[in-house]
Each structure stands twice: as C-alpha cells, then as structure tokens.
A and B are shown apart, each in its own frame.
Chain A
Amino acid sequence: AQSVSQHNHHVILSEAASLELGCNYSYGGTVNLFWYVQYPGQHLQLLLKYFSGDPLVKGIKGFEAEFIKSKFSFNLRKPSVQWSDTAEYFCAVNNPNTDKLIFGTGTRLQVFP
C-alpha cells in the first residue's frame, strides 16, 4: 500500500529565508509525485509534479522539488520565501495504474514580514 509522510508539521520563517519541506513516500512501484498548496480559504492548487526524467522539477511561484529515488523522497524547496507563501503544503503520491492519489499530513507554513 502507498503512504506519504511529511515530517515538518509547522514551519515558521521570516521573509527571505530559505525553505525546505520534507516528503517521503512508501510504495515499491512507479509513482507520480506532487506538491499541492492550500492558501487560507482557497482550493488545493498544484505547485509542481514529477512523472519521470530530470529529478529536479520546477513549479510555480519559484518552488522546486527534487526526487531522490534511493531515499523515496520528494522534498520541496524555495530559496527565498515571501509573506504570501503562508499556506498549508501537501505532498501527494499517485499510483498511475490505479488513480489512487494519497496525501501526506501536510505542513503549515507561516511567513512573517
């Protein structure tokens, strides 16, 4: 069975600080990997995705993530956060053969000016 874990539950940063959020998944087969963001009062939006190829993927709003297959990890990074990045961030894993999209527990990011 597939599962996703996010180790950082709540992260507090000042503007311009660098961000790295951890994500590990458990599944032996081929997976698609995603990071979604949920701004307060808004719907889930896709930040970035990995299907295959270059393990370093770039998403919207300056976010990027690196897939490390040997570590079953897909960590999210941003060199310099802004106050507007305050949101809940979810890592998600999809088995492309079953359409089963599973979310990690989420990381609440608070950025202070």
Chain B
Amino acid sequence: DTEVTQTPKHLVMGMTNKKSLKCEQHMGHRAMYWYKQKAKKPPELMFVYSYEKLSINESVPSRFSPECPNSSLLNLHLHALQPEDSALYLCASSQRQGRTEAFFGQGTRLTVV
C-alpha cells in the first residue's frame, strides 16, 4: 500500500469559517508534509513533521495550524483564511532521512469565498 489519502477532495469555506484537512498514510513513514500548490505553479513547502514533531515551518501564516495526532495522521486546521489562500493542498509522506522518496496524496482543492 503506497497510498496517501486526503480528505476532503474539495472544500469551499467562508473567510470566517474553521475547517480542517486530513491526511492519512499506513506505510510506516515517519516524515509527513503539507504543500500548497497554486495553478500552474510548483508545490510550495509549508510544514514538515518528523516523528510526529514539527521540524520545519516555512514561515506560514498562523491561520494555518498543522497537527500530527499520531504517526499515520496529519491535519491542517484552517481559520480566517483569505481568498488568496485558495489552492490545492497536498500532503506527502516519506521515510525520514536517507535514501527516500516522498509519496503524494491527490490533494484537497480549497476555495475560500
């Protein structure tokens, strides 16, 4: 099983809403990632969790709040987003360190209205 599962696939939220994105993997990977991808642009790294601890935060605004409840789950909590935050949010996982590649989920298409 080399799947990274993201839910929901699509999400529309208002600027005052609170919502969460969910990511799950059962490959025993110890590093998990959140990326943001705007149309026709590369994925931009947001957060990295290693062994369930936040190891990298790429200066992401606090309206995005990541959480790693256990080694298989990764959440991204959203609050008071702006329309420019509309994008495809990608989750990925990899074995931590060394010779390892990242596996990506299908993403959540987020629209902020």
Contacts and interface: CB of A to CB of B under 8 A. Distances in A.
Given A42-B106, A44-B104, A97-B97, 13 more contacts: A43-B90, A43-B105, A43-B107, A44-B43, A46-B101, A46-B103, A49-B101, A94-B102, A96-B98, A98-B48, A99-B31, A105-B41, A108-B40
A101 to B, nearest CB: 6
Interface size class of chain B, counting residues whose CB lies under 8 Å from the partner chain: 20 to 34
A101 B99 contact: no
A99 B43 CA distance: 15
B33 interface: yes
A99 B105 contact: no
Nearest to A41: B106
A40 B81 CA distance: 27
Interface of B: 31, 33, 40-45, 48, 50, 55-56, 90, 92, 94, 96-107
Interface string A24-56: 000000001010100000111110010110000
A32 B104 contact: no
Contacts of A52: 99
Given A97-B97, A101-B33, A106 B41 contact: yes
